[in-house]
């Protein structure tokens, strides 16, 4: 061994083992960790660790969250009586929102995979559409109530005028 160069890690490990500073098990464990492998297991990412499987599940849930409630709605519209349709349609919307929220959160947890990102995008579309439709419905309903109130006020004033004209005659 050349004195001008420091000892290698393997030589240093052998020296520690010969001096009795480390046990045979520790020596074997450290030696195993130092030996190069064809593929380093620490660098290989497993699909479970990267969320790839969860991303696929999230994407499937996001797609099913759209298709299944639409199919149930079509079935209910064709089969159910008129009184039960509103309740059934409301349950379909609730089911769709619930499944889409689960898909969106699963997509967030598997964001590293492309299927996780796709699941979030697919899940956001119907949720945003539902929010926009509620806003539009609320505005239309409010305008409708305002117009109805104006018509009632105008009719009341007209009725008062006519009643006052009848009393004057």
pLDDT mean values, one per 10 residues, the chain (169 residues): 67 82 83 71 52 86 90 82 76 88 92 90 89 85 79 84 66
What pLDDT shows up at residue 158?
83
pLDDT score recorded for residue 154: 84
What pLDDT is stored for residue 40 in this prediction? 54
As a residue count, the chain comes to 169
Determine if residue 39 is left, alpha or beta; phi over 0 gives left, psi from -120 to 50 gives alpha, anything else beta: beta
Residues 6+ apart with CB under 8 A from 95: 68, 69, 72
The H-or-E segment that residue 72 falls in is helix 52-79
pLDDT at 17: 81
- What was the pLDDT predicted at 60? 94
Residue 166 is predicted with a pLDDT of 58
Q: Residue 157 and residue 169: Cα distance in Å, rounded?
A: 19
118 is written with which tokens? 């796709």
pLDDT of residue 120: 92
pLDDT for 44 equals 54
User: What local confidence, expressed as pLDDT, does residue 104 receive?
Assistant: 92
Q: Give, in degrees to the nearest 5, the angle at Cα 65 between 64 and 69.
A: 100
The predicted model scores a pTM of 0.53
């Amino acid at each position: 061994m050349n004195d001008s160069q420091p000892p290698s890690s393997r030589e240093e490990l052998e020296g520690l083992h010969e001096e009795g500073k480390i046990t045979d098990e520790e020596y074997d464990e450290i030696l195993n960790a130092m030996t190069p492998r064809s593929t380093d297991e620490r660098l290989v990412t497993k699909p479970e660790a990267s969320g790839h499987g969860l991303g696929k599940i999230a994407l499937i849930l996001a797609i099913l969250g759209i298709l299944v409630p639409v199919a149930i709605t079509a079935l209910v519209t064709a089969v159910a009586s008129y009184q039960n349709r509103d309740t059934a349609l409301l349950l379909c919307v609730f089911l769709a929102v619930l499944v889409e929220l689960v898909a969106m959160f699963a997509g967030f947890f598997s964001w590293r995979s492309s299927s996780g990102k796709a699941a979030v995008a697919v899940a956001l579309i119907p949720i945003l559409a539902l929010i926009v439709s509620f806003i539009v419905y609320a505005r239309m309903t409010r305008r409708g109530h305002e117009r109805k109130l104006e018509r009632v006020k105008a009719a009341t004033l007209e009725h008062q005028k006519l009643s006052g004209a009848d009393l004057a005659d």
